[in-house]
Amino acid sequence: MYHPTTRVLAVLSLLQTYGRMSGAELAQRLEVNIRTLRRYIVMLQDLGIPIEAERGRNGAYVLSAGFKLPPMMFTNEEALALTVGLISAHRLNLADTGYAVESALAKLERVMPLDLKSRVRALTETITLDLKAESTAPTSEIVLSTLSSAAQLQRRVHIHYRPDQGEETERDFDPYGLTYFQNKWYVIGFCHLRGSLRSFRLDRISGIKTVEAGFSRPDGFDALGHIMQAIATLPRKYPFELLLNTNIETAQREVFDVLGVLEADKDGIVLRGSVDDLDWLARQLSVFSFGFMVRQPRELKAALKRHSAKLGSF
């Protein structure tokens, strides 16, 4: 059973999180009746916390805008989750965040009880993540935050972009969404320079500003799904097509995302894609638990035979 003081603090935490909640919603969350909830509200108001009560049929309790609450204490589980999240943040390839992460971890540790502090130190000293640096420059925090805000508010931006080859270009751009894939940040949206849906790497955006124009994002837009399909269907030296002897669920589980695109046709499940190295593709296909038929190219059959002979020699 919750202690009454805990419930009073829970009211404050809920209003801080949601800003506005009805009495019925708060009472249900706290498992108390409306009369008890009103007593908790009065206790907080007596402490000088500006909670306003909106009257009427759609009335609610509102924490006054701009009120700054003191830091809230974390439960053990919350503190551990924050620690793991901060450790993971190192691998997101963002500029100027290394010190911020270390500082946040130090602040967390200072307010922890001794038993929790020892558990958190065990995490920081024993967890190892894949932090291998890419050859790309880290993404600017300003670019990331500007694009994420623009995507949320559906506001157009003007960007300067440096491609891998060629000169820097400028364009107006409607950011539909951002994603982090294969150690790189991408933004996907409508490019007004090309008049089509395009994706851009954030580490190649050298300048950005919000412009006075809005846009409508397509319903259910999947930024990560778009990037994975775009990478899988990049034009390469050898287009390939396989007929898989399995069902779609198994194929989706075993075919990694950027190998190709899965489609269903009258004969079954088809995998289409393109690669520059057929021997590499043969090695990837050899791990499938199901059989398949090569429709194209003929050179892939020879690569599979070479790989089979190499495995048979062990």
Rounded average pLDDT over 83-92: 73
Residue 200 confidence (pLDDT): 92
- The tens digit of pLDDT for each residue in 163-186 reads 877 789 999 999 999 888 877 888
Task: Count CA within 13 A, CB hemisphere, residue 181.
Answer: 22
pLDDT at position 4 is 66
Q: What is the DSSP code string of 257-297? A: TTT-EEEEETTEEEEEEEES-HHHHHHHHTT-SS-EEEEE-
**Model-level pTM?**
0.57
Q: What percent of the chain has pLDDT over 70?
A: 86
Stretch 50-72: mean pLDDT, rounded? 74
**Predicted confidence (pLDDT) at residue 1 exceeds the cutoff of 50:** no
Nearest to 12 by CA among 72, 53, 65, 59: 72
pLDDT digits (tens, 9 = 90+) for 280-301: 999 999 999 999 999 999 999 9
Dihedral sign for Cα 208, 209, 210, 213, please.
negative
The pair of structure tokens assigned to 281 is 């593709």
- Over residues 10-39, mean pLDDT: 84
